[in-house]
Structure 1
Amino acid sequence: MDLDLRKLRYFVVLAEELNFGRAAGRLHIAQPVLSRQIRALEDELHVRLFVRDKRSTELTAAGRQLLDDGKPLLAAAEALKRRVAQAARGTTTFSVGFMPGITVTDWVRAFGTQHPDVEVELVRTTWNNQVDVLRDGRVDVSIVRLPIDQRGLKVRPMFTEPRVAVLPADHRLAGKESIEIVDLAAEHLLNEPGAVPEWRDISVQLRDGTAPPARGYTSIEEKLEDVASGQGIAIIPKSTSEYYRRPDVTQVPVGDIGPNHVCLAWIAPRRSPLIHDFAEIVG
């Protein structure tokens, strides 16, 4: 049996929405059409993907597995189409994703010297999409900050750097030469808790169950706005805090948390000579 990527796309959207009406709206199809396509997919796979009643739609264990495996498959298909279209146009481009605070100029110049006929495109990424841009083909390589989902990726360490606490300028800890993570136990952390496991282990909010849902920031600028306005504090790499300095925010070193690890990542099965050459340049 060949898996129908259109049905898989319908499934992924429905799995994200868990509502047939909203999913059909996103897909620009009628709800009965979506229902028929999902039933057809279940028949083809010989499994039940959703449990549905009058009040809710939930994924089964098989559905959760298909979602985990299906999203990278769809992203790989999109990436394939982009690379084929590029080849058809007769152009050679090499796209590099990079996180805030990381300067890629020297590496890009060195790569351009080796490959003067290749057009290099730079894509600024965020915590939320630094891996997505690889999986959907927007970039060939991505300079990422760990932790990331490394499934299907080749990840090469580059360097580490210390992390700092970013606080409002009038915060009680502002001006300290250094603090410990326990000093932040009562603070509201704007990072995803999993990104700072040291804080997660001592957080008052997490212990008491009073932590509000984590906000999905699309840029470091948004996060710093919330820090400046007293909405919370953030733990970020030192280079990022220095690059985005502002007078209403201050940084304080945190002595007992691990460094941020910066790595070069790309899709593991790809064997492009350009990826190899760029990886050699960044070391």
Structure 2
Amino acid sequence: MDVDLRKLRYFVAVADELHFGRAAERLHIAQPVLSRQIRALEDELGAELFARDRRGTLLTPAGEQLLEDAPSLLSASQALLRRVRSAAEGTARFTIGFMPGITLTSAVLALTARHPKLDVRLLRTSWHDQVEVLRDGRADVSIVRLPVDQRDLHVRPLFEEPRVVMLPAGHRLAGKASVAIADLAHEHLLQDPDAVPEWRDVALEMREKNRPKVPVIHQVEEKLELVAAGSGVSVLPLSTAGFYTRPDVIPVPIEDIGPNRVCLAWVATRRSPLIDDFAEAAAQTIGAVPLGHVGLTGRS
């Protein structure tokens, strides 16, 4: 029995929403159609995926297992389609995902020197999609900032760099030569706490419990606008801070926080000479920004 990918997408939508009406709206289909498709999937799998009662819709153990496995299968199918369509165009293409603050020019030039006819494309990523672009085929390789979900990926270290806290110019700590992570425990962090586990671990329990909801932030520029407006602070790698300098946001070194680790990642099952050649070029040319290249002008 083959799993119908369309039904699998329908299942993921319902599992995410835990509500058939909202899932149907998200999928742009009628709710009765969605219900029939889910029942058909349950019949095909021989397992009940959702428990429905007066309290709402809940995943069964079988549903929880399917939700754990389905996203990777759907991403793999998208990656397959993208690679096949690219091959059908007859042009060799190589897409590199990269996080803000990382310079790829030397590595790209080294790759194109070996493969002059290669169509190299760059894809800027964010904290939330830096490995998803690999799993769904949007990128062949990705320069990622740890931590990331490394399942089914090959991850090769490139370099480490310090992290700084971005503060509004009038902030009480903005003139310091450096700060400790404990100094930031009461601050509103404008990013996922899992991206800065050191802050998460020292932030006061009450502060974390009543922490204002962080808006969805897609770009560094958005984050720095919020910092400048006094809405919170953000912890960034040194190179990213150097790329986005502005007079109303001050970078201050954090003295007791680990470095940001930058790595090259690709799907572990991919076998490609282009990946091997780029990995070699990246290891030789992609590195950290020297401290002196970023204007850290704090005072003690």
TM-score by length of 2: 0.91
Q: CA deviation at 1:272?
A: 1.2
What secondary structure, in the 3-state scheme, does the structure 2 residue paired with 1:58 have? Answer: strand
Q: CA deviation at 1:36?
A: 1.1
User: In structure 2, what is the Cα distance between the partners aligned to 1:62 and 1:230?
Assistant: 46
Aligned to 1:126: 126
Q: CA deviation at 1:248?
A: 0.9
Kept in 2: contact 1:205–1:211 (CA 8 A): no
What secondary structure, in the 3-state scheme, does the structure 1 residue paired with 2:65 have? Answer: helix
User: In structure 2, what is the Cα distance between the partners aligned to 1:142 and 1:62?
Assistant: 33
Q: Which AA in structure 1 matches 2:10?
A: Y
Q: Would you say how many aligned residue pairs link Structure 1 and Structure 2?
A: 283
User: In structure 2, what is the Cα distance between the partners aligned to 1:267 and 1:108?
Assistant: 20
User: In structure 2, what is the Cα distance between the partners aligned to 1:208 and 1:73?
Assistant: 35
User: In structure 2, what is the Cα distance between the partners aligned to 1:113 and 1:3?
Assistant: 43
Kept in 1: contact 2:143–2:262 (CA 8 A): yes
User: In structure 1, what is the Cα distance between the partners aligned to 2:209 and 2:67?
Assistant: 29
User: In structure 2, what is the Cα distance between the partners aligned to 1:166 and 1:62?
Assistant: 45
Aligned to 1:49: 49
Q: Which AA in structure 1 matches 2:4?
A: D
Q: Structure 2: which 5+ runs fail to align?
A: 284-300
User: In structure 1, what is the Cα distance between the partners aligned to 2:207 and 2:174?
Assistant: 25
Kept in 2: contact 1:188–1:205 (CA 8 A): no
Q: CA deviation at 1:243?
A: 0.4
Aligned-pair identity in percent equals: 63
Aligned to 2:276: 276
Quote the RMSD (CA, aligned, Å).
Answer: 1.4
Aligned to 2:67: 67
What secondary structure, in the 3-state scheme, does the structure 1 residue paired with 2:144 have? Answer: strand
Q: Using a 3 Å threshold, how does the CA distance of structure 1 residues 112 and 272 change in structure 2: closer, same or farther?
A: same
Aligned to 2:145: 145
- Deviating more after overlay: 237-246 vs 12-21: 12-21
Q: Which AA in structure 2 matches 1:22?
A: R
Aligned to 2:171: 171
User: In structure 2, what is the Cα distance between the partners aligned to 1:240 and 1:203?
Assistant: 24
User: In structure 1, what is the Cα distance between the partners aligned to 2:208 and 2:238?
Assistant: 30
What secondary structure, in the 3-state scheme, does the structure 1 residue paired with 2:73 have? Answer: helix
User: In structure 2, what is the Cα distance between the partners aligned to 1:9 and 1:215?
Assistant: 26
Q: CA deviation at 1:206?
A: 5.1
Aligned to 2:244: 244
TM-score by length of 1: 0.96
Kept in 2: contact 1:20–1:35 (CA 8 A): yes
User: In structure 1, what is the Cα distance between the partners aligned to 2:165 and 2:147?
Assistant: 18
Q: Which AA in structure 1 matches 2:101?
A: G
Aligned to 2:287: none
Kept in 1: contact 2:186–2:207 (CA 8 A): no
User: In structure 2, what is the Cα distance between the partners aligned to 1:25 and 1:60?
Assistant: 23
Q: Structure 1: which 5+ runs fail to align?
A: none
- Deviating more after overlay: 177-186 vs 207-216: 207-216
- Deviating more after overlay: 83-92 vs 204-213: 204-213
What's the CA shift string for 1:46-80, capped at 9, x where partnerless? 22222223452222232222122111110110110
What secondary structure, in the 3-state scheme, does the structure 2 residue paired with 1:15 have? Answer: helix
Q: CA deviation at 1:3?
A: 1.4
